[in-house]
Amino acid sequence: MVVDMTMKNITYFDNAATTYPKPQCVISAMNSCMKNYCANPGRSGHRLAILSEEAVYQARRRITDFFHGKNPLKTVFVKNATEGLNMVIGTLAAMKGHVIYTSYEHNSVIRPIWRYSQSGDLSYDICLPDVTGCIDPRDIESLIRKDTLAVIVSLASNITGYILPIKEIGRICKEHRLFFIVDVSQGAGTIQPDMIENDIHVIVGTGHKDLYGPQGTGFVCAEGFELIPILYGGTGTESMSPNPANVSPDILEAGTQNLPGIVGLAQGAAFIEELGAIKIQKHKKALIKRMSDGLKSIKGITSYIPEDNCGIVAFDVTGLDSQETVHLLSTQYGICARGGFHCSPNLHRYLKTDQTGLIRFSFGIFNKIKEVDHSLNALEFIAKRLV
Ligand SMILES: Cc1ncc(COP(=O)(O)O)c(C=O)c1O
């Protein structure tokens, strides 16, 4: 592939889609795996296979510890959060009953639930934000029915960055003996949610966003929630039987694992832990404040910036299509951002942006204040139709 070197001058504000660039230590760990020991974990008994299996186990421990889970063998690697959420929601569908989610959920929650509602296996209610845009845990409580099985919420919104009150929601789930499932795809890394403190049964996440791992990685940490596999095949154990041994994590990870990806994910999580959530939050807060203050002084821009925010500034430019604006930002100013709709349709409805979409700037640890200033200049030109 020929790389256009002018790409070096880009401003990357699309970290909620996937973080970029990745830390050098992630690239090096993946490179070393591919070069030095990339055998098939859990299949053969030779030295390299054992090294590979050990690397997967260490990654399992790293991810479990990151969320203060108890048992690494209950952490399952999947290819992304979408696969993990399908596994979890499929398990709930097998129990049959009612689930509650919020207006902040992503299509990877909405669509599997909708599908199982069509087959009559699940019914659902959606908890709407209050007038301030926040989720009031009491509103979730008011939706609980006799047949409610679980509450599923995001740690943070992929559109506005709003951080949901998981502690209070977890307490309500505990009181009502419901499974509490948290999709940490947005936010885990900027925040380090504790499974035990927040009474969470299942954490589902993706590796390529705030954990700075590669694409093609995700995980489910499930404690006190017996997952049902969505894939059947080789697990490296009980090979002569058509029925896989019911042992976690093997039964939930049929097929060859993405070893370089898992190694990269573990390294990303280690990197983030070392940097520390406090430092990351401080950095993102500074970027958000600069952006938010700057947007206020540009006429014709409406912004949606919650106080509790994992690192996103969403806005629109009056009279300009959001896709057109991000196209101008990209082609004229080298700014990578996302426009249009963001896989969270209920929130677009709530924000009344379901016709226009929104522009999303999502910040990462490598972004700089001067990039915010550059984008504010660009937006000023665009808003005045000077470009
Ligand atoms: C809140 C949330 N959940 C789930 C997902 C799905 O992640 P993936 O596409 O990696 O499966 C995303 C992706 O943007 C997300 O923002």
* Range(s) of the domain holding residue 367: 5-23+276-383
Of 130-134, 179-183, 291-295, the range with the lowest mean pLDDT is 130-134
Q: How confident is the model at residue 387 (pLDDT cuts 50, 70, 90)?
A: low
State which of 256, 275, 294 marks the end of a domain. Answer: 275
Same domain, yes or no: 378 and 326? yes
Q: Does residue 37 sit in the same domain as residue 161?
A: yes
Q: Is the dihedral of CA 331, 14, 371, 213 positive or negative?
A: negative
* pLDDT tens string 255-305: 999 999 999 999 999 999 999 999 999 999 999 999 999 999 999 999 999
One domain for residues 36 and 165: yes
Ligand 1 geometric centre to CA of 374 (Å): 28
Nearest atom in ligand 1 to the alpha carbon of residue 105 is 1
Residue 152 and residue 48 share a domain = yes
Distance CA 50, CA 31 (A): 18
Confidence of residue 317 (pLDDT cuts 50, 70, 90): very high
Q: How many residues make up the chain in this entry?
A: 387
Specify the pLDDT at position 5. 47
Query: Quick one: 34 and 179 in the same domain?
Result: yes
Sheet with 202-206: strands ordered across: 75-78, 218-222, 202-206, 179-183, 148-154, 97-102, 122-127
The closest-lying atom of ligand 1 relative to the alpha carbon of residue 215 is 10
What's the Cα-to-Cα distance from 110 to each of 95, 129, 136, 142, 250, rounded to whole Å? 18, 16, 20, 20, 28
Let me know whether 373 and 320 are in one domain.
Answer: yes
Mean pLDDT on 131-154: 97
Helix (H, G, I), strand (E, B) or coil at 292: helix
15 CA → ligand 1 middle, Å: 12
Q: Identify which of 102, 163, 206 to mutate to test ligand 1's pocket (most ligand atoms within 8 A of the CB).
A: 206
d(CA 50, CA 35): 16
Question: Are 82 and 184 in a shared domain?
Answer: yes
**Average of per-residue pLDDT across 184-209:** 97
- Nearest-atom number in ligand 1 for the CA of 156 is 1
H-run or E-run covering 51: helix 47-66
How far apart are the CA of 20 and the centre of ligand 1, in A?
A: 16
Q: At what angle do helices 369-383 and 322-333 cross, to 10 degrees?
A: 120
- CATH code: domain of residue 184: 3.40.640.10
Distance 124 CA to ligand 1 centre (A): 20
Summarised one tens digit per residue, pLDDT across range 239-258 is 999 999 899 999 999 999 99
CB atoms within 10 A of CB 224: 10
The protein residue whose alpha carbon is closest to atom 14 in ligand 1 is 17
Mean pLDDT, the chain, as a whole number? 95
Q: Judge if 206 and 330 occupy the same domain.
A: no
Same domain, residue pair 314 and 292? yes
Residue 1 has pLDDT above 80, yes or no: no
Separation of CA 82 and ligand 1 centre (Å): 6
Q: What is the C-alpha radius of gyration for the chain, rounded to an integer number of angstroms?
A: 21
Taking a C-beta distance cutoff of 8 angstroms, is the pair 302, 60 a contact? no
**Structure confidence at residue 383 as a pLDDT band (50, 70, 90):** very high
CA of 68 to the centre of ligand 1 (A): 22
pLDDT classification of 236: cutoffs 50, 70, 90: confident
The span from the CA of 111 to the CA of 101, in Å, is 12
Q: How many CB atoms lie within 10 A of CB 320?
A: 18
pLDDT at 4 (0 to 100): 54
Task: Tell which of 216, 247, 275 closes a domain.
Answer: 275
- Number of domains comprising the chain: 2
17 and 70, same domain (yes or no): no
Question: What's the CATH code of the domain at 378?
Answer: 3.90.1150.10
What digits encode the pLDDT tens for the residues 2-14? 545 456 689 999 9
Confidence band, pLDDT 50/70/90 cuts, at residue 337: very high
Same domain, 165 and 180: yes
Last residue of a domain, one of 227, 258, 275: 275
pLDDT digit string, tens, across residues 12-28: 999 999 999 999 999 99
Question: CB under 6 Å to ligand 1: residues?
Answer: 80-82, 106, 108, 154, 158, 183, 185-186, 206
Whether residues 305 and 158 fall in one domain:
no
| Percent of residues, the chain, with pLDDT higher than 70 | 97
The pTM score is 0.96
